[in-house]
Structure 1
């Protein structure tokens, strides 16, 4: 289990509100990449952009933190950008547009319309009822699950369609990661509900 994901679960997962599974779906983070140009002078960029951080010894890119929307843009010399922290597709699009505007203001040749590719969407959900992870571990496809409660309190379930990883907790709360579009999380929750129902576990 990824250590950062483990920490995320404990920090952000315990206080989720209950409700119907579909209504409880909440995007926690979207990570996307974009190519804005072929070359960027990072030292020059960092010195001219407000709220920019650049320490080549610690990280090979410029870190630009936006406040509205609250997104971090990781800008690399190759012209590649990684956006993280977005809570919606709209905020992701706005964040990329703002970055493009800032770079154009520095007389850098940036296309007017920038496109991005979503790399990962992390979504939280709540089944609304406690679940028995031990029984689920027995009932689900063993090749698709990881369950070692002495190391991590959740059950890891890897789906093929949609291609996501779902973390199930005994409280009935879920984290869906690996999605490429918001609908992936909804489909994953619906599939989990169906499989639990078929096994008589919900």
Structure 2
């Protein structure tokens, strides 16, 4: 466990039930459901408690996003499957829920010079005219960091909480190797940070990135089936 405080922003979970789901049949029976096959092949179903959104596909695959913890993601997924089963659809009562992506935030008590970091570190990308954050990738565990000049950090791509802490520890070592004094913040939800427009955009973009990653994983699974 690293010394960083971590807040989970979004968990993307995935399940393959092995049974076809008639989306046109169930959409009219589900509250908070949207199905526009000409726009997207999946049915979107939102749960209120826990708050999450599920992408349900006719192949029996479901992607759940928006939960704030692994436990809540699995709870939401189970609720979605149970709800569809209660509509008379033959679905298994036991299934394996996999975590595809965790988006988490943390913070360093320092102002970061992103241009200097981009120049000093390999695998770092910084294009301020396109996006205000620096993207830094590591391969073990395979995650991507978004670093902001405020000291805000977003980690995306992890499959469990331990990977996030391991990755943050490696990030700390890399930053210290180029002369940055890394002091993990004890308060990662300060009002000052919340008011930063860049950080607000960051959270929105990171969530979108997580959803896209889940859709890519779904497409890969479909190709493997074929």
TM-score normalised per structure 2: 0.75
**C-alpha distance in structure 1 between counterparts of 2:25 and 2:85, whole Å:** 14
**C-alpha distance in structure 2 between counterparts of 1:113 and 1:165, whole Å:** 33
Determine the structure 2 residue equivalent to 1:108: 89
The offset of 1:38, in angstroms, is 2.0
Higher helix share: 2
Instruction: Answer with 104-113 or 118-127: which moved more.
Output: 104-113
Are residue 22 (structure 1) and residue 4 (structure 2) matched? yes
SS of residue paired to 2:142: coil
Instruction: Answer with 84-93 or 145-154: which moved more.
Output: 145-154
Determine the structure 1 residue equivalent to 2:105: 124
For the structure 1 residues 175 and 112, does the alpha-carbon distance in structure 2 shift closer, same or farther, using more than 3 Å as the test? Answer: same
Query: How many residues align structurally?
Result: 180
Gaps of 5+ in 2: 182-226
Calculate the aligned-residue CA RMSD, in Å: 1.6
Q: Deviations over 1:81-106 (max 9, x none)?
A: 11111110111111111112112212
Determine the structure 2 residue equivalent to 1:187: 166
The offset of 1:29, in angstroms, is 1.0
Gaps of 5+ in 1: 1-19
SS of residue paired to 1:22: coil
**C-alpha distance in structure 2 between counterparts of 1:106 and 1:133, whole Å:** 52
1:22-61 equivalence runs, <5 A = 22-23=4-5, 25-61=6-42
Instruction: Answer with 90-99 or 100-109: which moved more.
Output: 100-109
Q: Deviations over 1:130-169 (max 9, x none)?
A: 122222122212xx11112232221111101111011111
Q: Is the 8 A contact 2:13 2:74 kept in 1?
A: no
**C-alpha distance in structure 1 between counterparts of 2:130 and 2:21, whole Å:** 43
TM-score normalised per structure 1: 0.83
Are residue 168 (structure 1) and residue 147 (structure 2) matched? yes
Q: Deviations over 1:16-65 (max 9, x none)?
A: xxxx9612x11111112111242111111111222221122222121110
SS of residue paired to 2:129: coil
**C-alpha distance in structure 1 between counterparts of 2:13 and 2:74, whole Å:** 10
